[in-house]
């Protein structure tokens, strides 16, 4: 298949009264009813006692407010980290939101000043919390102030969409992103570890930044993103092809790939390891970690009158297998 213009072939502090009754359905019965005579006076006394007990219950439950909720900023609802600010009435908020509310308490509208809630900062130091990606499989528990640093690099955190043609904000696990690329971005999906693509552009002298193409390959039970694009490097347009692995960097190093482009008895070959999609598309591109073809060379490979770009890019993906006897990497080629 040949495409022109770039184408590719191929929150509440306590519980209200109803909630208290719901949480303690048998408590009043055992405390008052079982030892009282069954008459009208007893029933009235029982009702009064129940009313008193409801009040006591609500005041008893209020101090048991989740400490984690106290550390939640009322503006952005994120966890607060030092410096934690408070107004003269004791309402707290995070340092980021302090500037957003123009130094006015969002709760009582009083001026905030520069008061820090040192007591709450000390309370936070004593807490240990699970990683926020525990529902995705992370088993780790961290001190409050270490948790945020871990979550930035947690291996269980969701992946960003690897699609480079738009500012897509979708995140998710790999199966979800594969479906997202196929259904929402209409990306071509291929099975196999070899590829043979022909990229065509009718006017190769008009190159805009981030003119791109993306194809997804499925092999070795994994998914790989093959990018091909044209962009301006200094004053000259260049073409670049590179592979990204849909998974973490550690696992990406288990694979290698090669890219080849050529014609008229000449060829360029690139070989390397795919980058993880943890690295953004732009980061990989700007590091020039892939097959780069200068415009003059691309036109030479295209042949003809050099008025149309026709590049055939071939390549393959393989998995490095460790030979336990020789201690060297042995390529595992798919059929």
CA distance 66 to 62: 10
Task: Decide if pLDDT at 167 tops 60.
Answer: yes
- Angle between the 144-153 and 118-125 helix axes, to the nearest 10 degrees? 70
What's the structural domain count of the chain? 1
How many CA atoms, within 13 angstroms, populate the side-chain half-sphere of residue 65?
A: 16
What is the average pLDDT across 236-245? 90
Categorize the per-residue pLDDT at 222 as very low, low, confident or very high, splitting at 50, 70 and 90. Answer: very high
Confirm whether 1 is domain-assigned.
no
User: Domain span at residue 190?
Assistant: 160-333
Over residues 289-296, the mean pLDDT reads 90
Instruction: Report which listed range, 68-72, 120-124, 201-205, 273-277, is most confident.
Output: 273-277
Answer for the pair 57, 20: CB distance below 8 angstroms, yes or no: yes
More confident residue, 305 or 144: 144
74 falls within a domain: no
Q: Does 43 map to a domain? A: no
Q: How far apart are CA 75 and CA 92, in angstroms?
A: 10
pLDDT at 146 over 80: yes
Interior angle at CA 65, CA 118 and CA 77, nearest 5: 65
Most confident of 19-23, 307-311, 330-334: 307-311
Asked whether residue 46 carries a pLDDT value surpassing 60, the answer given is no
What 96-103 contacts at long range (C-beta under 8 Å, 24+ apart), as own/partner pairs, is 97/73, 100/75, 101/75
- Within a domain: 59: no
pLDDT tens-digit profile of 172-196?
999 999 999 999 999 999 999 999 9
Predicted confidence band at 205 (pLDDT cuts at 50, 70, 90)?
low
Whether residue 68 lies inside any domain: the answer is no
Top-confidence residue, 96 or 212: 96
How high is the pLDDT of residue 270?
Answer: 96
Q: Is 33 contained in some domain?
A: no
Q: Is 87 exposed, middle or buried (0-12, 13-18, 19+ CB in 10 A)?
A: buried
pLDDT for 244-258, tens place per residue? 999 999 999 999 999
Stretch 73-90: mean pLDDT: 90
CA angle in degrees (0–180, nearest 5) for 201-259-190 = 75
Least confident of 66-70, 155-159, 292-296: 66-70
Burial of 115 (0-12, 13-18, 19+ CB in 10 A): middle
Query: What's the pLDDT score for residue 38?
Result: 42
pLDDT of residue 215: 93
CATH classification of the domain holding 259: 2.60.210.10
Is the confidence at residue 55, as pLDDT, over 50?
A: no
In a domain, 140, yes or no: no
Across the range 147-161, mean pLDDT stands at 91
Q: Look at residue 177 and tell me if it is in a domain.
A: yes
Look at residue 322 and tell me whether its pLDDT is greater than 80: no
Within its chain, how far is the Cα of 299 from the centroid?
39
């Amino acid at each position: 298949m040949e495409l022109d213009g770039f184408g590719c072939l191929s929150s509440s502090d306590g519980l209200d009264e109803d909630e208290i009754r719901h949480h303690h359905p048998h408590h009043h019965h055992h405390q008052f009813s079982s030892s009282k005579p069954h008459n009208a006076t007893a029933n009235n006394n029982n009702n009064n006692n129940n009313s008193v007990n409801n009040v006591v219950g609500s005041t008893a439950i209020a101090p048991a407010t989740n400490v984690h909720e106290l550390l939640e900023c009322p503006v952005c609802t994120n966890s607060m980290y030092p410096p934690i600010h408070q107004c003269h009435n004791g309402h707290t908020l995070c340092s980021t939101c302090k500037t957003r509310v123009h130094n006015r308490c969002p709760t009582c509208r009083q001026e905030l000043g520069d008061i820090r809630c040192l007591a709450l900062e000390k309370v936070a130091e004593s807490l240990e919390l699970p990683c926020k990606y525990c529902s995705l499989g992370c088993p780790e528990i961290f001190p409050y102030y270490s948790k945020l640093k871990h979550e930035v690099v947690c291996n269980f955190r969701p992946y960003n969409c690897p699609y480079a043609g738009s500012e897509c904000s979708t995140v998710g696990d790999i199966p979800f992103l594969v479906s997202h690329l196929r259904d929402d971005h209409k990306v071509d999906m291929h099975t196999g570890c070899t590829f043979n693509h022909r990229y065509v552009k009718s006017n190769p002298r008009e190159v805009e930044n981030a003119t791109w193409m993306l194809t997804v390959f499925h092999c070795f039970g994994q998914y790989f993103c093959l990018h091909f694009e044209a962009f301006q490097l200094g004053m000259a347009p260049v073409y670049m092809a590179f592979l990204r692995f849909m998974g973490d960097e550690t696992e990406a190093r288990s694979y290698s790939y090669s890219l080849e482009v050529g014609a008229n008895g000449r060829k360029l070959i690139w070989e390397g390891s795919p980058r993880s999609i943890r690295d953004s598309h732009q980061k990989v591109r700007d590091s020039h970690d892939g097959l780069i073809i200068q415009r003059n060379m691309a036109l030479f490979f295209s042949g003809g009158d050099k008025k149309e770009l026709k590049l055939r890019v071939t390549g393959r993906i393989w998995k490095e297998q460790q030979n336990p006897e020789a201690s060297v990497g042995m390529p595992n080629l798919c059929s």
